[in-house]
Amino acid sequence: MRTATGAAPLLALERVRVGYPAPGGLHVVVDELSLALRQGEIGCLLGASGCGKTTVLRAIAGFEPVRAGRILLQGAVVAEPRRALAPERRRVGMMFQDYALFPHLSVAGNVGFGLRRLRRAAREARVAAMLELVGLGGAAADYPHELSGGQQQRVALARALAPEPALLLLDEPFSNLDVDTRGRLAHELRALLRATGATALLVSHDQAEAFAMADRIGVMERGRILQWDSAEALYRRPAHRFVADFIGRGALVPGTAVGLEAELEVLLRPECLLHDPEGPIRGVLLEAGFRGPGYVGSVRLDSGEVVEVDLAEAAPREPGAALALRLAEGPLVTFPRQ
Ligand SMILES: Nc1ncnc2c1ncn2[C@@H]1O[C@H](COP(=O)(O)OP(=O)(O)OP(=O)(O)O)[C@@H](O)[C@H]1O
């Protein structure tokens, strides 16, 4: 797989299949999975629990064999059926969901763990630089249990980055943190990865997290990536019904509900219908609520479909009010009717 510039991507997965041994043979959990990340890009595998995200990371790291297809790092094949480079020779760093810090080692001991082949002075300098980078310069002598969840995450990140991996894999990096901390750390982590020029692939089941962190996102369903694209493209140009439904708010309604052909289904996001007293689409407001920055209404169209609509200042907000609407300017996402 080549990128638009012609340079080989830093990471490429080509039609990869991974499975686990099962009584009747192989239980395939990832199949036909392809993606590419360029140097310095942050990618994210986004999908519901059990769709195979962690399995993909484990295959890239070298902990699971590839049953079909291949994985390339820096242009070289590191895994294909019957041929695999050992995990320690892949230059892949991994940050686990629970951080997996060594409780009996200090912060400095944890960060220096993968640097034992370095001379002592070089190791100490690298550990100090990594702790400085993640803002924990003063915590070198502390032990993991003395740190907050966010601080532990930063130690884990410093440890993963210390050996200068070509690729960093992050499995649900925010799952142990409360909602407020998650939002803050997503931006902080992105800035840190940017500052180091690291190429990273993370796993998440949270769309907001994926949007905040990643340049490219792969929406996964049952072991496959349905679309590998930017956040904006996933939202504006979903290539698949599942992606249209999974990303953002919105409903798929028959074309006839908004005056289009019957063979189509139209994706109506809250911004797709506008309140307009002259508008040809009629409906009844079921309820309205303030979502910030404005009101959003739940509207039953005359055709029976219930959709969410961003309500303009002048639009009625009382339940039961009749609403006239029109389609907003701009392209609509449509799918052939099933
Ligand atoms: N070691 C294993 N042996 C057998 N089956 C496994 C093993 N690890 C995972 N699986 C199965 O593979 C499928 C995918 O699991 P995986 O952990 O990759 O999903 P995930 O998307 O990362 O889920 P989560 O978000 O819950 O971690 C699941 O059905 C799971 O039960």
Confidence of residue 3 (pLDDT cuts 50, 70, 90): very low
- The pLDDT score that the predictor gives to residue 167 is 95
98 Cβ below 6 A of ligand 1: no
What number of other Cβ atoms are within 10 A of residue 183's Cβ? 15
- Please tell me the distance from the alpha carbon of residue 7 to that of residue 40, in angstroms, as a whole number: 13
Does the beta carbon of 56 lie inside 6 Å of ligand 1? no
CB 140 within 8 A of CB 112: no
pLDDT at 204 over 70: yes
Q: Which residues contact 236 (CB under 8 A, 6 or more apart)?
A: 333
**From the alpha carbon of 57, which atom of ligand 1 is closest?**
18
What does the alpha-carbon distance between residue 170 and residue 158 come to, in Å, rounded to a whole number? Answer: 12
Inform me whether the pLDDT recorded for 78 exceeds 50: yes
Q: How far apart are CA 251 and CA 299, in angstroms?
A: 12
Q: Is the peptide bond before 280 cis (omega within 30 degrees of 0)?
A: no
Q: How far is the CA of 205 from the centre of ligand 1 (A)?
A: 14
Q: Determine the distance separating the centroid of ligand 1 and the alpha carbon of 29, expressed in angstroms.
A: 8
The pTM of the full predicted model, rounded to 2 decimals, is 0.89
Is the CB of 22 within 6 Å of ligand 1?
no
Best of 49, 55, 171, 204 for a ligand 1 pocket test (most atoms within 8 Å of beta carbon): 55
52 Cβ inside 6 Å of ligand 1: yes
Instruction: Retrieve residue 163's tokens.
Output: 């050996």
pLDDT (tens digit per residue) in 20-32: 999 989 999 999 9
- CB of 49 sitting under 6 A from ligand 1: yes
Which atom from ligand 1 is nearest to the alpha carbon of 45? 21
Pairing of strands 216-221, 200-204: unpaired
d(CA 320, ligand 1 centre) in Å: 47
Ligand 1 lined by 112 (C-beta under 6 Å): no
* 3-class SS string, the chain: CCCCCCCCCCEEEEEEEEEEEECCEEEEEEEEEEEEECCCCEEEEECCCCCCHHHHHHHHHCCCCCCEEEEEECCEEEEECCEECCHHHCCEEEECCCCCCCCCCCHHHHHCHHHCCCCHHHHHHHHHHHHHHCCCHHHCCCCHHHCCHHHHHHHHHHHHHCCCCCEEEEECCCCCCCHHHHHHHHHHHHHHHHHHCCCEEEEECCHHHHHHHCCEEEEEECCEEEEEECHHHHHHCCCCHHHHHHCCCCEEEEHHHHCCCCCEEEEECCCCEEECCCCCEEEEEEEEEECCCCEEEEEEECCCCEEEEEECCCCCCCCCCEEEEEECCCCCCEEECC
| Cβ neighbours of residue 225 closer than 8 Å, sequence gap 6 or more | 33, 34, 35, 45, 218, 219
- CB atoms under 10 Å from CB of 20, counted, come to 10
Report residue 22 as tokens. 């099962």
Q: What is the ipTM of this complex?
A: 0.96
Q: What is the pLDDT of residue 338?
A: 82
- For the segment 38-62, the average pLDDT, to the nearest whole number, is 95
Tell me the pLDDT tens digit for each residue of 225-277. Answer: 999 999 999 999 999 999 999 999 999 999 999 988 889 999 999 999 999 99
Q: What is the pLDDT of residue 149?
A: 83
Q: Is 29 in the pocket of ligand 1 (CB under 6 A)?
A: yes
User: Going from the N-terminus, what domains does the chain have, and what CATH number goes with each?
Assistant: 40-58+87-245 (3.40.50.300), 249-336 (2.40.50.140)
